[in-house]
Amino acid sequence: MTRGVFTLPGSLSIREAAWALMHRGIGAAPVHDDDDRLVGVFSNIDLLEAELVRGLDDAELEARPVTEVMTPAVVAVGRDEPVDQIIELMAEHGYRRVFVVDDDGRMLGVVATMDIMRLIADGRLRLLDSDVARPSLHEING
């Protein structure tokens, strides 16, 4: 799991959020509310949809909050979720990343397919051995 993931406050304007993504060279970022709870994801696709499909002009992109155009459906798991269940979720839905939240919905980090690959390469995760207990994220990352 990667901790310290860049997030966007939901109060940012659409334009500010777009600039933040561009400045960091990323295509998407999780969005949090005033209580730091994960509420969605804003991506470059959301920006294109806002401009091209919804027809928002420059003034609207500057005035409206990112929460109006972000993708609100967020897949998140708890820190005690077994790693094999996270892998199953990723495989079943084609996700490359899954957010990890605490019991209050605050972001702790993100698990990417590369994190899973590292666990396997380091020998900390063996998926094909049915006699091995499946660790949770908390057990692996502490």
Claim to verify: residue 137 and residue 82 sit in the same structural domain: yes
Instruction: Tell me the pLDDT tens digit for each residue of 15-29.
Output: 999 999 999 999 999
CA distances to 106, 115, 141 from 103, rounded to whole Å, are 7, 22, 17
Claim to verify: residue 53 and residue 82 sit in the same structural domain: no
What pLDDT does 139 receive? 60
The 38-43 sheet, strands edge to edge: 8-9, 28-32, 38-43
CA 53 to CA 112: how far, in whole Å? 30
Q: What CATH number is attached to the domain comprising 103?
A: 3.10.580.10
Claim to verify: residue 6 and residue 69 sit in the same structural domain: yes
Q: Which helix (H) or strand (E) holds 61?
A: helix 58-63
Beta strands 28-32; 38-43: pairing state:
antiparallel
What is the pTM assigned to this prediction?
Answer: 0.82
Q: Do residues 69 and 61 lie in contact, with contact meaning Cβ atoms separated by under 8 Å?
A: no
Claim to verify: residue 2 and residue 70 sit in the same structural domain: yes
Q: Give the pLDDT band of residue 123 (cuts 50, 70, 90).
A: confident
